Amino acid sequence: MHPAFSVIFFTTASGAGYGLLVWLGVFGALGILPADRWFGVTAFGLAFGLVTAGLLSSTFHLGHPERAWRALTQWKTSWLSREGVVAVLTYIPTGLYAIGWIFLERNDGVFAMLGLAGAVLCLVTIWCTAMIYASLKSIQRWSNKLVPPVYLALGVATGSLLLALLAHIFGHPSTAIDAVALATVALAAGLKLTYWNMIRKTRSESTMSSATGLGKPGLVRLLDAPHTETNYLMQEMGYRVARKHADRLRVIAAVTLFAIPLALLVATLAGAPIPATFLQALTVSSAAAGVLVERWLFFAEAKHTVTLYYGEETA
């Protein structure tokens, strides 16, 4: 699939924003984070900014962005619609939670409940986003049970890294927050490496023979290309990335998204003689670059079965 920047930005930015809201709700309710007004302004501003910018960018890939609101009406059958509905609903409890934190300087009692309710809705929204892709049986590398857990893990991991950085900047460092960041990044690494290993070892069962229903008489081959020039379908669904380039990019993603952040988080927890805020800033910067590479690969390596009609032997 063509790795459009608007969709890459949408899935990474909104995932990190929702992840940050999740941990603000959890750590606020647990009393680990004080209801510091300016911390709240910065944290919620960043979270809502990432979420909103991500959701808006997703409409740029549509032929008619002005009609995006109509997707909300198809929630009974469409994961895209469900994502939109839950994303809108998520603003209600998280917005009220932010108001309590910033204006009343409270994150306990009823506001703690709003924060936790918002955290659950954030997780549901990320899950719905992942299911948009996992529900597509025509794309073998997306239609598997690992895609939603990977999306969830990366969302809460990147969100926890942002929260750890903000906590250190505003003078609210917490071993618990740093430890959760370490654990979530490790979990995301395990799931993503498992996913990469799975798609490396498995191939789609769809072939030209199965796609045309002519497999029984013998091998089916394309006699002539259906088009003399590249068309829209091939641009959007037949994107190719060389195996050697994909392997190199996986290494880059694994190092910047997982290895470097894990090493820096361990150094922070171990009390390295380097300012913790500086280490956390490096962690966020490295992870941000890594998650963009990871998500680019997620789209670039996906192949739609429609490519079988354009000369591909397997999808």
148 domain-assigned: yes
When pLDDT is cut at 50, 70 and 90, the band that residue 35 belongs to is very high
Give the per-residue pLDDT at 310. Answer: 66
What is the arithmetic mean of pLDDT over 137-150? 90
Whether 243 is covered by a domain: the verdict is yes
Q: What is the mean pLDDT of the chain?
A: 88
Q: Which domain holds residue 190?
A: 5-310
Residue 217, pLDDT > 60, answer: no
pLDDT band at 242 (very low <50, low <70, confident <90, very high): low
In a domain, residue 145? The reply is yes
**pLDDT tens digits, 159-169:** 999 999 999 99
User: How confident is the model over 132-146, as a mean pLDDT?
Assistant: 89
**Within a domain: 281:** yes
Confidence grade of residue 3 (pLDDT, cut at 50, 70, 90): confident
Which of 104 and 6 is assigned the larger pLDDT? 104
Q: Has residue 223 got a pLDDT over 80?
A: no
Is the pLDDT score of 50 beyond 70?
A: yes
Query: For residue 190, is it within any domain?
Result: yes
Q: What is the CATH number of the domain that holds 115?
A: 1.20.1630
Tell me, what's the pLDDT at 28? 97
* pLDDT in the model for residue 195: 95
Q: Let me know if residue 210 belongs to a domain.
A: yes
261-275 tens-digit pLDDT: 999 999 999 998 899
Q: What percent of the chain has pLDDT over 70?
A: 82
For residue 72, being part of any structural domain is answered with yes
How far apart CA 137 and CA 150 sit, in angstroms, is: 18
pLDDT of residue 128: 96
Confidence check: pLDDT of 64 > 90: no
- Summarize the confidence of residues 100-106 as an average pLDDT: 97
Domain tally, the chain: 1
Q: Is residue 182, in this structure, part of any structural domain at all?
A: yes
Query: Mean pLDDT across the stretch 104-122?
Result: 97
